[in-house]
Structure 1
Amino acid sequence: MSRSPRHGEAILIAAQSGRALALAARRAGLRPYVLDLFGDADTLALAEGYRPATGRFGDGLAGEGLLAGLDSLAALAGRSPIGIVLGSGFETAPGLMERIGRSHRLLGATPDSVRTLKDPLAFAALCARLSIPHPEVTRAPLADRSDWLVKRAGGSGGSHIRPAGMGGAPPGAYFQRRVGGYARAVAFLADGREAAILATTEQWSAPSPLRPFRYAGALERAAHEAPILTAATLVGIGAAIAGIVAETGLCGLGSADILVSEDGWWLSEINPRPGATLDILDRRHTPLLAAHIEASLGVLPRIEAAPVDAAATEICYAAAGYAPMPPFDWPDFVRDRPQSGACVPRDAPLCTVFATGPDSAATRDLLRVRAATLRTLLATTEEAR
Structure 2
Amino acid sequence: MCTNLLVIGASSRSFAESAYRAGMTVSAIDLFGDRDLVAVCQQSLRLARDEYPHGFLQAAAQLPPGPWVYGGGLENHPHLLDQLAAVRPLAGNTGRQTVLVRDPDRLAVLAKRAGFQFPATFRTPSGVPADGSYLLKPLASAGGLGVMAWRGGLTTAGRGDACWQQQMSGQVMSASLLLGPRQGELLGFCRQLIGHRWGSGIPFGFCGAVEQPLQLYADKVRDRFHRLAHLLADELGLRGLVGVDFILPRMGHGETPVVLEINPRPTASMELIDRRLGGSLAARHVAACGLRLAGPLTGQPAYPKSVVWAKLILMSQQPVMITAAKDSLLDASLAATRAADEGCWPLLADRPCWGSRIERRRPIMTVFAAAASPAVALSRLRSRAEIVRSVLHDEGYPRL
TM range (shorter): 0.7 to 0.9
**1:9-58 C-alpha deviation (Å, 9 max, x unpaired):** 221010100110111111111121000011112112222111122447xx
2:163 to 174, 184, 188: 174
TM-score normalised per structure 1? 0.85
1:26 aligned counterpart, secondary structure? helix
Number of equivalent positions:
358
**What is the identity, as a one-letter code, of the residue corresponding to 1:214?**
G
Q: Is the 8 A contact 2:114 2:225 kept in 1?
A: no
CA distance in structure 2 between the partners assigned to 1:22 and 1:209 by the alignment: 24
Match of residue 229 from structure 1: 217
Q: Is the 8 A contact 1:219 1:311 kept in 2?
A: yes
TM-score normalised per structure 2? 0.82
The answer to whether residue 205 in structure 2 is matched with residue 214 in structure 1 is yes
- Aligned ranges for residues 239-254 of structure 1 at < 5 Å? 239-254=227-242
CA distance in structure 2 between the partners assigned to 1:220 and 1:51 by the alignment: 31
Match of residue 145 from structure 1: 130
CA drift of 1:128 comes to: 5.5
CA drift of 1:198 comes to: 1.0
Q: Is the 8 A contact 1:15 1:61 kept in 2?
A: no
CA drift of 1:165 comes to: 3.5
Q: Is the 8 A contact 1:335 1:351 kept in 2?
A: yes
Q: 1:343 to 1:174 in 2, by over 3 A?
A: farther
1:220 aligned counterpart, secondary structure? strand
CA distance in structure 2 between the partners assigned to 1:349 and 1:119 by the alignment: 30
Match of residue 70 from structure 1: 60
2:305 to 296, 304, 307: 307
CA distance in structure 1 between the partners assigned to 2:278 and 2:393 by the alignment: 39
Match of residue 189 from structure 2: 200
Match of residue 30 from structure 1: 24
Match of residue 303 from structure 1: none
CA drift of 1:233 comes to: 1.2
**What is the identity, as a one-letter code, of the residue corresponding to 1:267?**
V
**What is the identity, as a one-letter code, of the residue corresponding to 1:296?**
C
CA drift of 1:373 comes to: 0.3
Q: 1:130 to 1:279 in 2, by over 3 A?
A: closer
Match of residue 70 from structure 2: 86
* RMSD after superposition: 2.7
CA distance in structure 2 between the partners assigned to 1:102 and 1:135 by the alignment: 36
Moved more, 9-18 or 65-74: 65-74
**What is the identity, as a one-letter code, of the residue corresponding to 2:267?**
G
CA distance in structure 2 between the partners assigned to 1:206 and 1:189 by the alignment: 28
- Aligned ranges for residues 325-340 of structure 1 at < 5 Å? 325-327=322-324, 328-329=326-327, 330-331=330-331, 333-340=347-354
Match of residue 366 from structure 1: 380
**What is the identity, as a one-letter code, of the residue corresponding to 1:72?**
Q
Q: Is the 8 A contact 1:314 1:353 kept in 2?
A: yes
**What is the identity, as a one-letter code, of the residue corresponding to 2:103?**
D
**What is the identity, as a one-letter code, of the residue corresponding to 1:276?**
A
1:212 aligned counterpart, secondary structure? coil
CA drift of 1:205 comes to: 1.4
CA distance in structure 1 between the partners assigned to 2:185 and 2:21 by the alignment: 22
Q: 1:229 to 1:54 in 2, by over 3 A?
A: farther
Moved more, 96-105 or 285-294: 285-294
**What is the identity, as a one-letter code, of the residue corresponding to 2:202?**
R
The answer to whether residue 102 in structure 2 is matched with residue 118 in structure 1 is yes
1:282 aligned counterpart, secondary structure? helix
Structure 2, gaps ≥5 residues long: 293-303, 332-345
Match of residue 340 from structure 2: none
1:20 aligned counterpart, secondary structure? helix
Match of residue 147 from structure 2: 161
Match of residue 273 from structure 1: 265
Q: 1:325 to 1:168 in 2, by over 3 A?
A: farther
CA distance in structure 2 between the partners assigned to 1:48 and 1:381 by the alignment: 39
Q: Is the 8 A contact 1:202 1:228 kept in 2?
A: no
1:346 aligned counterpart, secondary structure? coil
Q: Is the 8 A contact 1:193 1:249 kept in 2?
A: no
CA distance in structure 2 between the partners assigned to 1:43 and 1:160 by the alignment: 28
Identity %: 25
**1:135-190 C-alpha deviation (Å, 9 max, x unpaired):** 12222124312210011213111232110132346453221111111112111110
